[in-house]
Amino acid sequence: DAKTTQPPSMDCAEGRAANLPCNHSTISGNEYVYWYRQIHSQGPQYIIHGLKNNETNEMASLIITEDRKSSTLILPHATLRDTAVYYCIVSLSGWTPLVFGKGTRLSVIA
């Protein structure tokens, strides 16, 4: 079973920041938080990962709480192309088998 809990769906206005929450209260000290997204009928796409520090790349920012029990993925300026299912996954190394939950379906609205 997935070790994460995410809201089933969220809406975001185009051009605004999308903030996607994830709870992982049972995360171990050496497990990373990974985010992937899946645009309809395509393979999942890696977005970002982090251990305990906040991380930022060209796609998104990842904010992990100090107790590491939750995190937030931030898409700073959402576009229609960001409409997808977003998965939050905890993993020891990232290349071991990923356990996907049902994710959050983000709808970006014009």
Partner 1 sequence: DAGVTQSPTHLIKTRGQHVTLRCSPISGHKSVSWYQQVLGQGPQFIFQYYEKEERGRGNFPDRFSARQFPNYSSELNVNALLLGDSALYLCASSLGKAGGPYEQYFGPGTRLTVT
Binding site for partner 1 (CB under 8 A): 2, 32, 34, 41-46, 49, 51, 85, 87, 91-103
Name the residue nearer to partner 1 (CB basis): 1 or 110.
1
Residue 43 falls in which region: left (phi positive, over 0), alpha (psi -120 to 50) or beta: beta
Least CB distance to partner 1 at residue 94 (A): 4
| 41 Cβ contact list (under 8 Å, min separation 6) | none
- Burial bucket for residue 105 (CB in 10 Å: 0-12, 13-18, 19+): middle
Of 92 and 109, which CB lies nearer to partner 1 in the complex structure? Answer: 92
Work out how close the CB of 14 gets to partner 1 at its nearest, in angstroms, rounded to a whole number.
26
Nearest residue (CB) to partner 1, 45 versus 65? 45
C-beta of 100: minimal distance to partner 1 in Å?
Answer: 3
**CA 41/CA 10 separation, integer angstroms:** 19
Tokens of residue 94, six digits? 């990232």
